[in-house]
Amino acid sequence: MLKFLFLGIGIMLLIEGFLYAAFPNQMKKIMQMALQLDNEKLRNIAIIFSIIGFVLIYTIIRNN
């Protein structure tokens, strides 16, 4: 189980690092947009993505 956790973190860091390396200006614009969002809207977006991530992880683990 710990192996899956480290694998997931590694994939996340790989994708995030690639995005910042390939599109630095666009990532800065996205960060500025996030700063302009109110806290409640940002929290709701984060909850939605957390749920999607949980469902993906649960589905992958359940099917193995």
Neighbours of 15 (CB within 10 A): 10
Q: How far apart are CA 59 and CA 54, in angstroms?
A: 8
pLDDT at 25: 97
32: tokens are 């500025």
Is the pTM for the entire model greater than 0.75?
no
Map residue 1 onto helix, strand or coil.
coil
Q: How far apart are CA 32 and CA 59, in angstroms?
A: 34
Given a contact cutoff of 8 angstroms between Cβ atoms, the answer to whether 34 and 42 are in contact is yes
pLDDT in tens, the chain (64 residues): 788 788 889 999 999 999 999 999 999 999 999 999 999 999 999 999 999 988 988 888 888 6
